[in-house]
Amino acid sequence: MAENIKLTDGEVMLKVAGYDSQALEELYERYSPLLFTLINRIVENKELAEEVLSDVFVIIWQKIEKFDFKTNNVYTWLVLLARNKALDVLKRNNNPGMLPEYNDEYENEFIIPKLSDSIIPLNLEKILSKNSGITNALNKLTDAQKYVIELAFYHGLKEDDIAKKLNIPAPTVKSKIQITLGNLYKKFAPEIE
């Protein structure tokens, strides 16, 4: 366990791919606060969030072969995996029977994130060291921008649903998303390019 502390996220994932449970434990130690916070934000229930978090780590273990070791972006893969899983649980709880049966095929298609082949790797340690700058940039968004991002990212609403909910035209929603992500992109460019 102690030796894993020195490893990069990518190296830890490689050991997880070798079915090293201590590496999975190390990954849990590093990522569980971030992933739990994200999941809890989506499902808004601590006990359910803990259950989903444990499911996410089981998925990581079972579907490690789906992780792309060439691009090696552990941070984004885990965050998007946790988000997809949490939103799926939320939708299934809110609308039982509306989603297709949850099976292996479904999980591969809708829960496991498919990252771009050209994505640059992000490292949790590096990201957290720049957290204050990132937080400031996010806090500078207008309330409307924050709300649209909130509804899309944390509530899993589609553009049309957001337009209905806010009682604004769909093109306005699209435009807000374009502007918001465009502005954030400019601020975060050094980290994400």
Partner 1 sequence: MTMDRNISVELIKSYVLGCLNPEVEKGLKSFMEDTENFPWQELGQYQNLVAMLPLNLSFETPGLEVKDRVARKLYELRGEPEITQQAGEEIIISEQILADGEPQVLIDESPQEFLEEISPPELSEEIPEKTEILIEENLVVKEPEIPPKSKEETIEKIVSPTVEEHRRGSKMRDILEREEFEKRTREYINTYYQIMFEDIRSELKKVFFVAIAGLALAIVAIIISFIV
- Within 121-160, the residues that bind partner 1 by CB under 8 A are 122, 127-128, 131, 134-135, 138-139, 149, 151-153, 156-160
Q: Work out whether 166 is an interface residue with partner 1 (CB under 8 A).
A: no
The interaxial angle of helices 74-94 and 46-62, nearest 10 deg, is 130
The residue among 93 and 158 lying less far from partner 1, judged by its C-beta, is 158
| Residue from 136, 112, 121 nearest 191 by CA | 121
The residue among 144 and 181 lying less far from partner 1, judged by its C-beta, is 181
Q: Work out whether 11 is an interface residue with partner 1 (CB under 8 A).
A: no
Instruction: Specify whether the CB–CB gap between 149 and 141 falls below 8 A.
Output: yes
Residue type, 47: E
Q: Which of 7, 10, 11, 36 binds partner 1 (CB under 8 A)?
A: 36
In whole angstroms, how far apart are CA 172 and each of 146, 160, 188?
14, 10, 24
What is the per-residue binding string for partner 1 in 79-118, x denoting contact by CB under 8 A?
xx--xx--x-------------------------x-xxxx
Q: Work out whether 74 is an interface residue with partner 1 (CB under 8 A).
A: no
Helix, strand or coil for residue 18? coil
Q: Which of 2, 6, 18, 100 binds partner 1 (CB under 8 A)?
A: 18
Q: Side-chain half-sphere of 120: how many Cα atoms within 13 Å?
A: 6
